[in-house]
Chains A and B, each alone.
Chain A
Amino acid sequence: MTPAVEIRNLRKIYSGGVEALKGIDLTVPVGEFFGLLGPNGAGKTTTIGITTGLVRITDGSVKVMGNDVVRQFRQARRHIGLAAQELSFDWFFAIEDLMMLQAGYYGVSRKVARQNTDRLLDTFGLSGKKRAKPRELSGGMKRRFQIARSLVHDPEILILDEPTAGVDVELRHRLWEYLTRLNNEGKTVILTTHYIEEAEKLCERVAIIDHGKIIAMGSPSELVSGMDKDGMSLTVEGWNQDAAEALVGYRFDFTDGHLRVYTTRPELRLTEIINRITSAGVAVLDVRICHSTLEDMFIELTGHGIDE
């Protein structure tokens, strides 16, 4: 089956000489919820820009539903709806007119454009504002309008560049719900984010991108499974050699009253481990189950946090 997006050896060197992409390979199957995760400046927006025709390719190729984004740009772009990172709109027109115009640019007939506009404005709770100009909308409304407009030509693929950057928690969760619903309805969703929680919660697969390279790719659970960081963290009193011997068979470390025990499925081993150390005369003051996260994975791979 033709993938939704297929990127091969994609390189981008900007005119100032900055090498933003250093040979990216990526395949996103139809219907997948895919995340591009990385810090600011990693190359996420450049990848999206090339895919949508906003940035010129230096080398390599990008295909959208089998159509090359340069040679078959018309066919490729018809399949994509883009909600860009920046909230910038044509300020001359009301949002209803902007929806109609955008649909028209994609070749959608006026009748279908009218139906899609009414439906999407309603879905995103903007029906009451349809004669408002974008500058009259609040930040959250602008973000909703931007996503609504990206869907007005009913694309198979929805690309969202940092859609929840700067939005409040409530709107963030509503957008997550809506994006999940769109994906369940069959749309391929590609999301760039530097919120690890967002990628873990929404994406079936993520690619971690840093300094213009994909350094890891897979489902969030696959990526963290090899991390070997699952376990439990205990605050203890009276640590002694007998307790250390009681933990034979487990990997652990102890520092300043904090015991960290590494084990898979820590919930099932918790009672056993507490019994072993309390039998050796150690008092347990606090217990916390720890699972590996994409953030651990990111730090291990890059040597820095995602916000650094």
Chain B
Amino acid sequence: MNSTGFFTFVGRELRRFLSLYNQTIIPGLLTTVLYIVVFGKSLGSRIGDIKGIDYMSYIIPGLAMMNVITNAYSNSAASLFQAKLMRFLDDILITPLSGLEISMGYILGGAVRGLLNGALVLLVGLLLTDMSLAHPFLGLVFLLVVGWAFGAAGLLVGIFAKTWDNIQLLVNFFLMPLVFLGGVFYSIDMLPPVWRSISLFNPLYYMINGLRYSVLDVADSSPWWSLFISVSAAVLFTLIGAFLFARGYRIKD
């Protein structure tokens, strides 16, 4: 393994998003504060408690997971696509880094950005609500595993993407609907039986459910099943993304 090369590349990925903090960190935090104020303060008092948790605290883990998913995905997809589009990916491909190392670097960059954004949202929640962390280690695992899964999904989309629209299309028409229907703002136990059953087919529901259990100690279904689904998604996306990248699919002529 080219460990110096690998860590240099991971460092490059981290520096890229940290230097663009006004695009990669601040917007997520600002949106979260708005959600807390608009949904939590104005609607929360009318909705009341859910499973014994005040509404404002109840939505925080879902908002955190929404940030993890969108940020991890956007980071690796945008970083790879930009390098392809501007043709500076060649500067990395000619080095003694293997395709596997480069793909892991992109995924790790996405996972760290997702983790950081998720953790900051939880921090905002801790500061603005009465929330406390019930299972902090498990929460960290969920943030990291889901960040990794969507960092890998972003890599996959970055490989296939031909335009910026391809990347944004998936966020608008796939990720965001699944996140919102995954119980960010409600418990699926509040839904009619048919819709509750349909929600159980949404993998993002399990990720939100797992983090909600880790933070608030309440869950609509088993947190361990949630962890299994999250790890499975991470493994699946990583295997496909790394395999395609290592083969040079849409990367090398």
Contacts and interface: CB of A to CB of B under 8 A. Distances in A.
Interface stretch (A106-114, A170-178, A180-188, A238-246): A106-114
Contacts, number: 79
Contacts of A73: 96, 98
A49 B90 CA distance: 10
Counting contact residues on chain B (CB < 8 A from A), the size range is 20 to 34
B222 interface: no
Interface in B44-99: 83, 86-88, 90-98
Interface string A83-127: 010101111110000000110111111000000000000000000
Contact of A54 (B88, B94, B97, B98): B94
Interface string A57-86: 000000000000000011101101010101
Max chain A Cβ within 10 angstroms of own Cβ: one of B20, B93, B95, B248: B95
B253 A77 contact: no
B197 interface: no
A105 B88 contact: no
A108 B4 CA distance: 7
A104 B5 contact: yes
Contacts of B83: 90
A34 B30 CA distance: 58
B88 A88 contact: yes
A47 interface: no
A105 B92 contact: yes
Interface in B222-242: none
Contacts of A55: 252-253
A164 interface: no
B231 to A, nearest CB: 30
Given A52-B94, A80-B94, A104 B4 contact: yes
Contacts of B96: 73-75, 77-78, 105-107
Interface of B: 2-5, 7-9, 11-12, 15-16, 19-20, 83, 86-88, 90-98, 248, 252-253
Given A14-B253, A89-B88, 17 more contacts: A54-B253, A74-B2, A84-B90, A86-B87, A88-B86, A88-B90, A91-B86, A92-B20, A101-B12, A102-B91, A104-B8, A104-B9, A104-B11, A105-B2, A106-B96, A107-B3, A107-B5
